[in-house]
Amino acid sequence: MHQKLSSDDKLKSEVKELQKILEQADSKCKQLENEITKCNTIIQDKQAEIKQYEAALQSKQMSLDQASVRIKALESDINNIQASKPEFDNFKEIFKNPSSDEQVIMKTDASFLNSFLSNIETIIAVKLQNWIKSLYVIDTIEIWRPEKLFPINNDDALKLLVSNHCNEDTTEENIEEIIEKCKIELIKIAPADILVIIENASITIDEKQFIRNKWRELHDKAFYKFLEEIMESNQWNKFMVMTYQVERVGKIFTGNTENFVCVKQFTSFKSDREFDKDMQAFIQSKYKMCIIELDFSIEHQHMNYLKYKVENLLKEFDKENEKKICLVVVLSRRIDYPKAVPLYREWYQIMFDELETQNKELGAKDKRAQFKITDDLLKLSTKEIILRSDIFNFKENISYIIENALMKFNPVNYPVSDYDAYINCISINIYKEIELIELFESKVIDYFKNNSDLIEDWKKCIFTDKEICDQSRDAKSALFNYISSILEEGILKLVFQMEKAQAFSSYFYSSDDDISCILKDIWRMNFEKFCIEQNMKLQKLTSSNQIEKFKFALNFPFSTIEFKKISEFYATYSNSSLDKNAKENFKESLDKNSVTGKYIEYITEIQLMVNI
Question: Tens of pLDDT along 38-90?
Answer: 777 777 777 787 777 777 666 655 566 666 766 777 777 666 666 555 544 43
Indicate the pairing of strand 348-351 with strand 238-243.
parallel
Per-residue pLDDT reduced to its tens digit, 416-461: 555 565 566 566 656 665 665 666 677 667 766 766 555 556 777 7
pLDDT-derived band at 282 (thresholds 50, 70, 90) equals: confident
Question: C-alpha 381: how far from its chain's center?
Answer: 22
3-class SS at 207?
helix
The whole-number average pLDDT for the span 551-559 is: 36
CB 522 within 8 A of CB 436: yes
On whether both 72 and 148 belong to a single domain, the answer is no
Given a cut of 70, whether residue 226 has pLDDT beyond it is yes
By percentage, how much of the chain surpasses pLDDT 90?
Answer: 0
Helices assigned H by DSSP within 59-116: 64-84, 110-113
Residue 549: predicted pLDDT: 33
Total domains, the chain: 5
Strands 261-265 and 289-295: parallel
The answer to whether the CB of 468 falls within 8 A of the CB of 482 is yes
Residue 185 lies in a domain: yes
Query: Residue 229: what pLDDT?
Result: 81
Instruction: Count the neighbouring beta carbons within 10 Å of the beta carbon of residue 331.
Output: 22
CA distance 338 to 376: 30
The pLDDT of residue 5 is above 80: no
Pair (500, 540) in one structural domain: no
User: Is residue 95 situated within a structural domain?
Assistant: no
Same domain (yes/no): 211, 257: no
- Residue 98 is assigned to a structural domain of this protein: no
Nearest to 445 by CA among 478, 500, 412, 490: 490
Q: Which candidate, 226, 240, 220, 264, places its Cα nearest to that of 151?
A: 240
> What's the pLDDT tens digit per position in 363-399?
444 456 566 667 777 777 666 677 666 666 666 777 7
Structural domain includes residue 202: yes
Residue 312 lies in a domain: yes
Which domain, by its residues, includes 21? Answer: 12-89
CATH number, domain of 255, equals: 3.40.50
Residue 26 maps to a domain: yes
Closest by CA to 342, choosing from 310, 309, 314, 300, is 300
Quote the pLDDT of residue 316.
Answer: 75
**Mean pLDDT score across all residues of the chain:** 66
Residues 543 and 486 in one domain: no
Please, is 316 exposed, middle or buried when counting C-beta atoms within 10 Å of its C-beta (0-12, 13-18, 19+)? Answer: exposed
pLDDT of residue 8: 58
Exposure letters 190-199 (e unless 16+ CB within 10 A, then b): bbbbbbbbbe
Q: Where does the pLDDT of residue 145 fall: very low under 50, low under 70, confident under 90, or very high at 90 and above?
A: low
Residues 300 and 244 in one domain: yes
Say if residue 502 is in the same domain as residue 526: no
Whether the full predicted model's pTM is greater than 0.75, yes or no, is no
Nearest 5°: phi and psi at 295?
A: -85, 105
Say if residue 428 is in the same domain as residue 401. Answer: yes
Let me know whether 160 and 136 are in one domain. Answer: yes
Same domain flag for 499 and 525:
no
pLDDT value at position 429? Answer: 58
Residues 383, 503, single domain; the answer is yes
What does the alpha-carbon distance between residue 486 and residue 455 come to, in Å, rounded to a whole number?
9
pLDDT at 499 over 60: no
Position 167 in a domain? yes
Q: Which residue has the higher pLDDT, 128 or 26?
A: 128
Higher pLDDT residue, 255 or 218? 218
Could you tell me whether strands 324-330 and 238-243 are parallel, antiparallel, or unpaired per DSSP bridges? parallel
Q: For 11-49, give one letter per residue: b (16+ CB within 10 A) or e.
A: eeeeeeeeeeebeebeeebeebeeeeeebeeeeeebeee
- Name which of 429, 407, 602, 399 is nearest 523 in CA terms: 429
In a domain, 343, yes or no: no
User: Which pLDDT score is estimated for 272?
Assistant: 77
Regarding whether 397 and 495 lie in a shared domain, the answer is yes
Residue 186's closest CA among 224, 233, 238, 242? 242
**For 159-214, what is each residue's pLDDT tens digit?**
888 887 777 777 777 888 888 888 888 888 888 888 888 877 778 888 888 988 89
| Interval 300-325 mean pLDDT | 78
Residue 231 has pLDDT above 70, yes or no: yes
pLDDT band at 142 (very low <50, low <70, confident <90, very high): low
Residues 500 and 523 in one domain: no
